[in-house]
Amino acid sequence: MKVASVLIPLPVQEAFDYEVPDGLSLVRGDQVAVPLGPRLLRGIVAEVRETTGSNRRLKAVEGRLDDPSVPERTVDFVEWAARWTLNAPGEMAQAALKGLRAPRPRPERRVRRIGDRRPGRETPARSAVLEVLGERSMAGAELARAAGVSSGVVKGLVDEGVLEVIEIEAVAAFDPPDPDHAPAVLTPDQAAAAEAIGAAVDERGFRPFLLDGVTGSGKTEAYLEAAARTLKADPAAQILILLPEIALTQALIARIADRFGAAPAEWHSGVAPPRRRQVWEAVRAGRCNIVVGARSALFLPFVSLRLLIVDEEHDGSFKQDEGLVYHGRDLAVARGRIEGATVVLASATPSLETLWNARSGRYGWLRLGARHGAAVLPDIRLVDLRADPPDPQTWLSRALRTAIAETLAAGEQTLLFLNRRGYAPVVLCRACGHRMTAPDTDSWLVEHRYIGRLVCHLTGFSMPRPKACPACGAEDSLVAVGPGVERIEEEVRSLFPEARIAVFSSDTTPDAASARALIEAMTRGEIDILVATQAAAKGHNFPGLTLVGVVDADLGLRGGDLRAAERTYQLLAQATGRAGRADRPGRALLQTWTPEHPVLQALAAGDREAFVEAEMAEREMAFLPPYGRLAALILSSENAQAVEATARALAEAIPNAERLEVYGPADAPLALVRGRRRKRLLVRADRDVDLQAFLRAWLARVKVPGSVRLTVDVDPYSFL
């Protein structure tokens, strides 16, 4: 008999076998309905094989679904990603069907003539409708407008039986991009990069590149010209561009539309579900050439993926920490290898892992060393707060206040950067020292003055600011400690009341539309001072922005996070890189209590290589990424004893292995989240150790109780 192995959405590490009924022909990638208990589930066929029998009776596949099959290389990618990340392959496969889980768009209602019928009473209005309509079908309202009549005339013809209403399934039409529509004028470095990428695509084999260019050097123009060359050689080619933030998509979509004369498809959480379904079906049918999306776009069913671009590849937003745990950048390289596509990782501040791969020759290294056109890199200066401290209960130094005033006087724009939402990060009681925390969570409550509430940014819990301390009962004793962007805005308004000021954070721009509106206002010069979190530090181009003030340059350097220094360097380099991107020179002032820190010294000197060399040396000594590998096991449960017992069982079951260490179990830094106790174990292995095989062997020795949730994070980015 024939047996089909089917990936179904369950947290198990294998496919389920089903008998293939006689007369049903299945191939890898087909979507099928299969029984599981009393339910029918949608699954993807991973394999079909002949067998002489089985020691157990198999249930039969109910039937093949009418939906399009998943391309075989997409199934290959799903299975590889599941093995690499230790996610359940069936749950990973569901990511490839995300678009099909959305409802279909409502069909379009149109009217058309019934044969050659004529109305019983001819009028000029009715005759105009029939003349305009002819043999086609049109929407009723559109037909009335075109004929210059009221919609009642069209309705009357329908009621009389001269016209009929039909429903037409909505099919997304993606205009083919024209590679010759508006070619960019490239610098020699840009042209060389585009040529190298295009030549690799022509070879039709896997080739990864690091496109390493300073902020404002024109990386986007370079990879779009490579995309144009790809489409010129093969009009059926498909191109995927991944971005870390939804807020960046609209600007890139506009640039793609300008360059190719046609807008690309969008794929991210802000796209309406029916539209996502249309995009999925168009990608599968090969009717969509360019997709711009978030990390989940990696799972779309491409049939001719030739070029895959990861813009801002260093950004931590490409790492998904909940549900399916994976890193979009790493999976993008894997998808390119499986598809035989060219992969471009673009960044002004590449991750150390990507730089290591470029240095070792695993990736091609394309460099853009200067800004495009007349723009030059900003001058960066450190403001030593020990010598020039702000006034009491303020946060801006005299040097920064003076620079803002000069910038306003020149009619230019300022960005004040502080990667901290709300008004104040900590609220405590002056009487007893109690710190306000979220219930059942170790996370501190952040004061938000705009909405008059205390908010937990980890769980979303919020409450009105109490009048009395909940610990000691003292009234009016709660005080806000430290600044957030709202507090900085308050200070700036008091200093510069005539300035037009706005705040850019996820609180003030909660969706793509509001973020786009604020970005456009800043681009048009309608904002003088923008107080912003990291939302403004990624990829935006504000022509009038000439001053960036970093309120607390030390913020990301605190704590013991492996990537703290790297992340801080990247974030501050990106933030300061927003200044002086047009024809006016820019400058950046970084307020710091530790100006001697290597990260800040490297930023001030514009010497990325010095920072990279020092950070690489530290990682190499400790055999940490990119010179080693990490994996984390996170246990959580509402039952503290169950977590403790499971952690102890895992610790006792560690397999013997060379060139590998396990640290823990220990309480996670955030040991209590939403009432769940959390413990962590961290694995460090040499690069040539099969870390996934070790983890599988280890986890097979321990039965995790149903009350305990176990999350495996290969190559962790968060250590909370």
Provide the pLDDT confidence category of residue 581 given band limits of 50, 70 and 90: confident
The pLDDT value recorded for residue 370 is 79
The pLDDT value recorded for residue 508 is 83
Q: Report yes or no on 463 lying in a domain.
A: no
Q: Report yes or no on 594 lying in a domain.
A: yes
The answer to whether the bond into 389 is cis (omega within 30° of 0) is no
Q: DSSP letter string over 531-579?
A: EE-GGGSSS---TTEEEEEES-TTGGG-S--TTHHHHHHHHHHHHHTTT
Q: Report yes or no on 543 lying in a domain.
A: yes
The pLDDT value recorded for residue 246 is 82
pLDDT in tens, 405-432: 999 999 999 999 998 889 888 999 989 9
Distance (Å, whole) CA 242 – CA 309? 6
- Ranking 533-547, 605-619, 634-648 by mean pLDDT, the lowest is 533-547
Of 106, 7, 77, nearest in space to 47 by CA = 7
- Residue range 467-471: average pLDDT? 90
Contacts of 636 (CB under 8 A, 6+ apart): 643, 673, 676, 677, 678, 679, 708, 709, 711
Tell which of 99, 121, 137 closes a domain.
Answer: 99
Please state, for a pLDDT cut of 90, what percent of the chain lies above it.
Answer: 68
- Ranking 480-484, 487-491, 554-558, 708-712 by mean pLDDT, the lowest is 554-558
Q: Report yes or no on 440 lying in a domain.
A: no
The answer to whether the bond into 464 is cis (omega within 30° of 0) is no
Distance (Å, whole) CA 93 – CA 70? 10
pLDDT score of 669 more than 90: no
Distance (Å, whole) CA 511 – CA 201? 36
Sign of the four-CA dihedral 646, 647, 650, 652:
negative
Of 524, 517, 526, nearest in space to 499 by CA = 526
The pLDDT value recorded for residue 214 is 87
Provide the pLDDT confidence category of residue 105 given band limits of 50, 70 and 90: confident
- Residue range 379-398: average pLDDT? 93
- Residue range 539-552: average pLDDT? 89
- Residue range 647-656: average pLDDT? 94
Distance (Å, whole) CA 711 – CA 555? 29
Of 363, 291, 301, 323, nearest in space to 76 by CA = 301
The pLDDT value recorded for residue 146 is 92
Distance (Å, whole) CA 524 – CA 83? 48
pLDDT score of 524 more than 80: yes
Q: DSSP letter string over 306-319?
A: EEEEEETTT-GGGE
Shared-domain flag, residues 206 and 353: yes
Shared-domain flag, residues 56 and 162: no
Shared-domain flag, residues 538 and 666: no
pLDDT in tens, 334-358: 999 999 999 999 999 999 999 999 9
Residue whose token pair is 């009717």: 287
Distance (Å, whole) CA 371 – CA 376? 6
Could you tell me the CATH number of the domain that includes residue 355? 3.40.50.300
What's the token pair of residue 169? 């399934």
362 DSSP assignment:
S
Residue 524 phi, psi (nearest 5)? -80, -5
The pLDDT value recorded for residue 215 is 85
248 DSSP assignment:
G
Shared-domain flag, residues 402 and 487: yes
The pLDDT value recorded for residue 11 is 87
Beta strands 379-384 and 587-592 are: parallel
Tell which of 74, 99, 124 closes a domain.
Answer: 99
Distance (Å, whole) CA 25 – CA 453? 60
**Domain that includes residue 114, residue range:** 108-168
- Quick count: other Cβ atoms within 10 Å of Cβ 385? 19
Provide the pLDDT confidence category of residue 373 given band limits of 50, 70 and 90: low
Which residues are paired to 635 by β-bridges? Answer: 679, 710
pLDDT score of 53 more than 70: no
pLDDT score of 173 more than 80: no
Tell which of 617, 641, 676 closes a domain.
Answer: 617
Residue 666 phi, psi (nearest 5)? -145, 155
Distance (Å, whole) CA 712 – CA 88? 11
Residue 325 phi, psi (nearest 5)? -95, 115
- Residue range 256-266: average pLDDT? 94
pLDDT score of 535 more than 90: no
436 DSSP assignment:
P
Shared-domain flag, residues 385 and 499: yes
Judged by DSSP in three states, 90 sits in helix
Shared-domain flag, residues 126 and 15: no
What's the token pair of residue 651? 């610790």
pLDDT in tens, 588-597: 999 999 999 9
The pLDDT value recorded for residue 233 is 94
Shared-domain flag, residues 135 and 260: no
Provide the pLDDT confidence category of residue 717 given band limits of 50, 70 and 90: confident
Could you tell me the CATH number of the domain that includes residue 634? 3.30.70.600
Judged by DSSP in three states, 279 sits in helix
pLDDT score of 578 more than 80: yes
Which residues are paired to 310 by β-bridges? Answer: 242, 345
pLDDT score of 10 more than 80: yes
Shared-domain flag, residues 52 and 79: yes
The pLDDT value recorded for residue 559 is 64
Sign of the four-CA dihedral 223, 229, 233, 235:
positive
Shared-domain flag, residues 196 and 334: yes
Cα 542 versus chain centre, distance: 22
pLDDT in tens, 129-163: 998 998 888 888 999 999 999 999 999 999 989 89
Could you tell me the CATH number of the domain that includes residue 78? 3.40.1440.60
Contacts of 560 (CB under 8 A, 6+ apart): 719
Burial of 469 (0-12, 13-18, 19+ CB in 10 A): buried
Count: domains in the chain? 5
pLDDT score of 560 more than 70: no
pLDDT score of 78 more than 90: yes
Distance (Å, whole) CA 192 – CA 283? 30
Shared-domain flag, residues 534 and 590: yes
Q: Report yes or no on 443 lying in a domain.
A: no
Provide the pLDDT confidence category of residue 375 given band limits of 50, 70 and 90: low
Helix (H) or strand (E) holding 348: none
Is the pTM higher than 0.75? The answer reads: yes
Shared-domain flag, residues 253 and 312: yes
Contacts of 471 (CB under 8 A, 6+ apart): 429, 432, 434
Shared-domain flag, residues 406 and 340: no
Please state, for a pLDDT cut of 70, what percent of the chain lies above it.
Answer: 99
What's the token pair of residue 523? 């681009």
